[in-house]
């Protein structure tokens, strides 16, 4: 019989800050530890921060099923989860006092298609300037 208990508090890890990004599954071929990344925050318009990929988490929730004694239907085929990737910012962002859970956009640059990476770097910087506009009213 399950015990109806609920957590009372949340514990935050203070030793190392990292970010978790959800990427498309077809990006997995180009997500490796050590790849460079750019981070932009809606709260900090026109600013871009450098970072890197720490690693790709080995499993996602959509890959699990509960044994129920029935056959798996096609609904399970339609769920396409996004692999989670851990990243860290290598620039110093301590002066901005960003709270945990702050939304961020991340662009990761692989070692292939470097000419496309240059265009992506320009686009991510242009997008950071768009954060001056509040279009979500």
What torsion do the CA atoms of 59, 62, 63, 68 make, to the nearest 10 degrees? Answer: 140
pLDDT tens, the chain, 137 aa long: 677 788 888 887 777 788 999 888 888 888 889 999 999 998 899 999 999 999 998 887 776 667 777 776 777 666 678 889 999 999 999 899 888 888 899 999 988 777 778 888 888 888 888 888 876 65
Per CATH, which fold does 19-58+80-130 belong to?
Elongation Factor Tu (Ef-tu); domain 3 (2.40.30)
17-to-20, 51, 54, 107 alpha-carbon distances in Å: 10, 12, 11, 18
Domain boundaries, the chain: 19-58+80-130
Bridge-based pairing of strands 19-22 and 49-56 is unpaired
pLDDT in tens, 122-133: 888 888 888 888
* Residue 136 pLDDT: 65
């Amino acid at each position: 019989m399950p015990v109806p208990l609920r957590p009372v508090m949340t514990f935050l890890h203070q030793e190392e800050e990292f970010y978790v990004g959800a990427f498309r599954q077809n990006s997995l071929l180009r997500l490796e530890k050590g790849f460079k990344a750019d981070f932009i925050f809606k709260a900090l318009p026109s600013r871009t921060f450098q970072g890197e990929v720490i690693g790709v988490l080995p499993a996602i929730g959509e890959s699990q099923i509960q044994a129920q004694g029935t056959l798996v239907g096609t609904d399970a085929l339609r769920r396409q989860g996004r692999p989670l990737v851990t990243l860290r910012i290598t620039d110093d962002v301590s002066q901005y006092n960003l709270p945990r859970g702050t939304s961020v956009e991340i662009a990761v640059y692989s070692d292939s298609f470097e000419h496309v990476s240059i265009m992506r770097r320009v686009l991510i910087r242009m997008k950071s300037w768009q954060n001056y506009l509040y279009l979500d009213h």
